[in-house]
Amino acid sequence: MAVTIKDIAREANVSITTVSRVINNKNEGVSKETKDKILQIMKRLNYRPNSVARSLVTKKTHTLGLILPDITNPFFPDLVRGVEDTANIYGYNIILCNTDDDIAKEKTYIKVLKEKCIDGIIYTSTIKSENQNVKMLLKYEIPFVMLDRLIDIKGVPYIYADGESGMYEIIRYLIENNHRRIAYISGPMTNHTAIQRFEGYKRAMAEAGLSPDGDLIMEGNYKMRSGYECMSEILKKKKKFTAVACANDLMAVGALECLRESGMKVPDDISVTGYDDIYVSNVVTPKLTTMAQPTYEMGCLAARILIKSIAEENHEKEVKLRPKLVIRESVAKI
Ligand code: RIB
């Protein structure tokens, strides 16, 4: 049977409050001999503070909530690894909440984390990027940071990679390989990351004097199946195009599958690019040219900034990182 704070108080013939003050090093009102007596009894009885009981006093659980939208997407595990490694360095644990891009599930998780008295939350929204749940976080007054998927709210730190310049760069790369009719499979346009990347696509096309053809632009949902379906819809339009840029790697893999099934060779007939540089992009055939997001670094920064925010120390309010072009085999010069 574990020794409790009550056992210590009884043995030392003092109140539980006195023992709690000594455990939490708040010694006002406790004489030195009483404190020494309590410490000796704790040592003799091998007392271990109960973390839940302790957190009731310190109001700190040294636990962070990490809300993510889709753990089936290999983009997110690297983000988790960065958060976890950094949280552990600072003596924090994490509770991972996968929302499956479901707003109701996300709301439930926010309530669960509040009940568990976590010290802060790292928040990556669902593809819908709803404000309602963010308003709940603000109402709960739980310190939180936004990671990767931003929602336009004041005063909340956010860490992300610059999708507009990232997609701009990969479209520039296609144009430098003489592609002019470039199809585009976007992410869900309710989401900041998808909107930013689409802006990058449009800017690169406009700067090259190319006007995007609406029949060659489809909206996906970041899942592999939607890449397949969007590619299929584009092919049905029977419009000429020589390349397709996808707003993430999973949709690019789906598009590769659709092109293969349609008897088209990549990159001989159609060049394909992705975005994220998940491990799959380096094992598919042909290996995918893509943009590598600084995913692990984003996770590390989010944890560090949140922990500084919890400690009310100075911290960055906005961190924008740059993705990097990774050239592999899925783009041909025409
Ligand atoms: O692949 C999933 C996408 O959603 C990634 O590009 C990442 O930015 C996340 O927001």
Q: What is the pLDDT of residues 281-312, one digit of tens each?
A: 999 999 999 999 999 999 999 999 999 999 98
Is the pLDDT at 5 greater than 90? The verdict is: no
Cis amide bond preceding 286, omega within 30 = yes
Is the pLDDT at 56 greater than 70? The verdict is: no
Q: How far is the CA of 248 from the centre of ligand 1 (A)?
A: 7
> How many Å apart are CA 137 and CA 118, to the nearest integer?
12
For residue 29, the model assigns a pLDDT of: 85
Indicate whether residue 123 lines ligand 1 (CB < 6 A).
Answer: no
For residue 53, the model assigns a pLDDT of: 58
Model pLDDT for residues 71-88, shown as the tens digit of each residue = 999 999 999 999 999 999
For residue 27, name the pLDDT band (cuts at 50, 70, 90): confident
**Nearest atom within ligand 1 for CA of residue 160:** 8
Q: How far is the CA of 79 from the centre of ligand 1 (A)?
A: 11
Is the pLDDT at 233 greater than 90? The verdict is: yes
User: What is the overall mean pLDDT for the chain?
Assistant: 93
For residue 122, the model assigns a pLDDT of: 98
The H or E element spanning position 120 is: strand 120-123
Q: Which of 76, 191, 192, 193 to mutate to test the pocket of ligand 1 (most atoms within 8 A of CB)?
A: 193
Indicate whether residue 101 lines ligand 1 (CB < 6 A).
Answer: no
For residue 332, name the pLDDT band (cuts at 50, 70, 90): very high
**Nearest atom within ligand 1 for CA of residue 191:** 10
Give nearest CA residue, ligand 1 atom 1: 248
Of the candidates 150, 145, 139, the one whose C-alpha atom is nearest the C-alpha of residue 65 is 145
For residue 295, the model assigns a pLDDT of: 97
At 159, is the secondary structure helix, strand, or coil?
Answer: strand
HSE-up (13 A, CA, CB side) for residue 12: 29
Name 170's Cβ contacts closer than 8 Å, sequence gap at least 6: 245, 273, 275, 289, 290, 291, 325
For residue 50, the model assigns a pLDDT of: 67
**Nearest atom within ligand 1 for CA of residue 187:** 3
Would strands 93-98 and 243-246 be described as parallel, antiparallel, or unpaired? unpaired
**Nearest atom within ligand 1 for CA of residue 247:** 6
Indicate whether residue 248 lines ligand 1 (CB < 6 A).
Answer: yes
Amino acid at 240: K
Domains observed in the chain: 5-58 (1.10.260.40), 63-161+294-322 (3.40.50.2300), 163-293 (3.40.50.2300)
**Nearest atom within ligand 1 for CA of residue 149:** 10
For residue 288, the model assigns a pLDDT of: 98
Indicate whether residue 222 lines ligand 1 (CB < 6 A).
Answer: yes
Phi-psi category of 186—alpha, beta or left, where left has phi over 0 and alpha has psi -120 to 50? beta
Instruction: Supply the pTM of this predicted model.
Output: 0.83
Indicate whether residue 73 lines ligand 1 (CB < 6 A).
Answer: yes
> How many Å apart are CA 55 and CA 117, to the nearest integer?
9
Indicate whether residue 78 lines ligand 1 (CB < 6 A).
Answer: no
Percent of the chain with pLDDT over 70: 96
At 237, is the secondary structure helix, strand, or coil?
Answer: coil
> How many Å apart are CA 86 and CA 296, to the nearest integer?
10
